[in-house]
Amino acid sequence: SQQGEEDPQALSIQEGENATMNCSYKTSINNLQWYRQNSGRGLVHLILIRSNEREKHSGRLRVTLDTSKKSSSLLITASRAADTASYFCATDAEYGNKLVFGAGTILRVKS
Amino acid sequence: DGGITQSPKYLFRKEGQNVTLSCEQNLNHDAMYWYRQDPGQGLRLIYYSQIVNDFQKGDIAEGYSVSREKKESFPLTVTSAQKNPTAFYLCASTSPTAAFSFGSGTRLTVV
């Protein structure tokens, strides 16, 4: 069963704008991870945020986690055409070591 | 370079035929996973293995089988019992101190 749900399902922005994607989940987690997938290819790990963390940065990426609301957001600042991809959140539950993925957000950055 | 190698990249299966997807990793990761991705959807867990000679069913194991005879290898067999096998299959691996690493995927099509 899918734990995470991303919102929006699709997002189209102009180069240079910021992109925000949201993820909600249902059960307690150990950590939450964000991945990028370029069309028809494998997933690339972007960032991991632990359940006791509230915010994390990596380059142009900023992830927040609100465990009380069971939600996370991924912000990509100053977007580039190369950021065009699908973005998935995945939760690693406290009781196991397997990732459960949401359906993803398709991001299109227009140049 | 360490990584995960999936082969083949494209695979065509006839009705009633079993096919095996290969996944090899040289990251010295203990755990390995198989996910299935359908168009516009997130990843669903098929099988996973935390250690050699042991594996567990995921959310959609019916019609699939795996083996874990070596730490580096986790092949997935799609059997004739899997009624709708056309999908994109991703293999992943991890260890307690590492994020998940994914292969580049195998696209399976029934002809």
CB-CB neighbors (< 8 A) of A45 in chain B: 99-102
From the list A2, A97, A98, which residue is nearest B42 (CB)? A2
Please identify which residue in the block is written with the tokens 């699908």: A86
Instruction: Identify whether the C-beta of residue B77 lies closer than 8 Å to the C-beta of residue B34.
Output: no
pLDDT digits (tens, 9 = 90+) for A74-108: 999 999 999 999 999 999 875 556 788 888 999 99
- Tens of pLDDT along chain B (111 residues) come to 569 999 999 999 888 899 999 999 999 999 999 999 998 778 899 999 999 999 999 989 999 999 999 999 999 999 988 889 999 999 999 887 777 889 999 999 988
The separation between CA A48 and the C-alpha centre of its own chain, rounded to angstroms, equals 9
Cα dist from A99 to A14, A58, B100, B102, B109, whole Å: 32, 21, 9, 12, 25
Say if the Cβ atoms of B45 and A103 lie within 8 Å. Answer: no
Would you state the pLDDT for residue B9?
93
pLDDT at A5 over 80: no
> CA of A5, closest CA in chain B: separation in Å?
9
pLDDT of A2 strictly over 50? no
- Each residue of A23-47: pLDDT tens digit? 999 988 889 999 999 877 888 999 9
Q: List residues of A whose CB lies inside 8 A of any B CB.
A: 1-2, 4, 33, 35, 40-45, 48, 88, 90, 97-104
The answer to whether A98 contacts B44, with C-beta atoms less than 8 Å apart, is no
Q: What is the pLDDT of residue A4?
A: 65
Tell me the C-alpha to C-alpha distance, in Å, between residue A13 and each of A9, A57, A77, A85, A106: 14, 21, 12, 12, 11
pLDDT in the model for residue A3? 58
pLDDT at A1: 41
Three-state DSSP string of A26-73: CCCEEEEEEEEECCCCCEEEEEEEECCCCEEEECCEEEEEECCCCEEE
The distance of B60 to chain A (nearest Cα, Å) reads 9
Given phi > 0 = left and psi -120 to 50 = alpha, else beta, which region is B28? left
